[in-house]
Structure 1
């Protein structure tokens, strides 16, 4: 079990930590579905005040006795400290607030030196910098000049929204709080649950577009009149059928040679590799979210030979379809789902 301490420093924004509790509760729900007999949850949490002691609002973060019990007596396992962002009026005021949070900064430093994972988003990153825990961090453009003034030794990362190094994970803005908690859960040993949780809690634009093609609806995108887009949209819509390059080229009104060149130029892969990638994504979605057999999935990915499909899937993912399902499924045993369905009261 992974235990999260949620630190609310003086001047911190508590809503971010409530969002973190939502994510952790989702991970526990997924864990119960996968292993209903397990007595322990995947994660526990406790809300801390600026002094490192239980905050007076902690009871509001727990909705049942199990959550309260595991918060009081965390089981042995990885420890995570998540720091709330600070409310900012100005850069000088923010730096004064950081100095007033000396106790929180010292707690961050001690936890970092003890080997705990540390997470922060937005202005909460300033506390990690003050504690000398980070060498680089994603800083919002609005604060970069001020951050550089006070922490010249910390490299600012402008291109990556989430940066992980030396046991610290930082997200550029509070809007990435869900993703930040999932990153921390993955690094703490809950990689499979974090993967499944990401599909429930975060927008996956590729799968969202792919699901439209899988239901026969045109995929949204830009530059719809380009040959490459037309070919990709046609391949998405017909990925369940055995395809020839000539068919995709005809759909885009170009030659096979031109289509191959366009794929190389804009995606760095051949049309076949692109098609295989589409089929792998379709298969992953079905393996994670349905009880469909591997034979059915292979057929609806355009493969008449299940063995050939399994070899292709293993080359792309490093594991077999069944092992992938075992690791990443959202659902518990089929019998459990049937029991729940048949036990619902009639309207």
Structure 2
């Protein structure tokens, strides 16, 4: 008798005026993830493009795209909200059914990926109040005016808050999908997607903190601030005593509180952020290993290589090679 594995169900919500390239790229990457997951022991993937009533949708450029199903009461594990090409006033009038349908997923902290203006319904539901978010740059000021309690980050390509991810553009959308592969199916599946589809992306932002996002749902806002600080300053010399002092804690209390919230000691967390950044640079840049070591905060490249091998299980050179074979 063959072993049965759980099936992770993903819904990609399609509406009229959707940006067709965004919608179909999500579909293509999900297909790639599904294809690879089926060839490995472990969870499987099922996904559908869904529309309000299951009907075809017309993209902003006039193309017609068929959908697989409708926006009903089926249970989904992941919701993806692609970018729409329209003004914010039009968004407010479009498909008022989406907000009530989406609300239980937000309330139960299901994984929600919003692309560009797809973040509208998340912000309108209030689940980004007090948190960072990003959106398509042309609509940033309108969103900031309509939802002033959200911390809109015009210069950030990706944000994450309580399992809600936002991507501002095409390249960051691809990285968001790659992060989905990592979270759901691990490195081997994500490696195949990165090599086959996303290898040529050269980012203007760090991908490493995105991989750490799932460790920020503990609810300790002060430690979340420390995590964000570490994730933005990992390339610098970091003294944990200074980090604790700058955030109003003794070193002992800081270490205890950080470990309680994240399940990891501060130094181990910092090392992991640095190694995630190094992994990204090994795949998506042509920099030498010595240069990468400096970029992620290690002046001693020999120590960096030993740490990388201990934590990742292979040398930096071997890790890079598997993406180029």
Which interval holds the TM-score relative to the shorter structure?
A: 0.5 to 0.7
1:96 to 90, 94, 97: 90
1:176 to 149, 172, 175: 172
Residue 133, structure 1, aligned to residue 120, structure 2: no
Deviations 1:184-240 (A, max 9, x none): 3444x323323542343323768899699xxxxxx967xxxxxxx8x958xx9xxxx
Residue 273, structure 1, aligned to residue 303, structure 2: yes
Deviation at 1:168, TM superposition (A): 1.0
* Number of the residue aligned with 1:143: 139
Gaps of 5+ in 1: 63-67, 213-218, 222-228, 237-262, 291-347
Q: Give RMSD over aligned pairs.
A: 4.1
Q: 1:77 to 1:288 in 2, by over 3 A?
A: farther
Contact residue 37 and residue 45 of structure 2 kept, 8 A: no
Alignment of 1:306-325 (within 5 A): none
* Number of the residue aligned with 2:81: 83
Contact residue 3 and residue 43 of structure 1 kept, 8 A: yes
Alignment of 1:180-329 (within 5 A): 180-187=176-183, 189-192=184-187, 193-203=189-199, 232=290, 267-273=297-303, 280-286=315-321
Q: 1:121 to 1:109 in 2, by over 3 A?
A: same
Contact residue 169 and residue 183 of structure 1 kept, 8 A: no
* Number of the residue aligned with 1:240: none
Deviation at 1:171, TM superposition (A): 0.6
SS of equivalent to 1:87: coil
Q: 1:61 to 1:182 in 2, by over 3 A?
A: farther
Contact residue 162 and residue 172 of structure 1 kept, 8 A: yes
Structure with a larger share of its residues in helix = 1
Contact residue 108 and residue 118 of structure 1 kept, 8 A: no
Contact residue 305 and residue 316 of structure 2 kept, 8 A: no
Deviation at 1:163, TM superposition (A): 1.5
SS of equivalent to 1:119: strand
* Number of the residue aligned with 2:44: 42
Deviations 1:229-258 (A, max 9, x none): 8x958xx9xxxxxxxxxxxxxxxxxxxxxx
Contact residue 137 and residue 170 of structure 1 kept, 8 A: yes
- The TM-score normalised by the length of structure 1 is 0.53
1:25 to 22, 25, 31: 31
Gaps of 5+ in 2: 1-6, 58-63, 203-277
Contact residue 117 and residue 184 of structure 1 kept, 8 A: no
* Number of the residue aligned with 1:55: 55
SS of equivalent to 1:112: helix
- The TM-score normalised by the length of structure 2 is 0.56
SS of equivalent to 1:95: helix
Find the aligned partners of 1:176 and 1:61 in 2 and give their Cα distance.
25
**Greater gyration radius:** 1
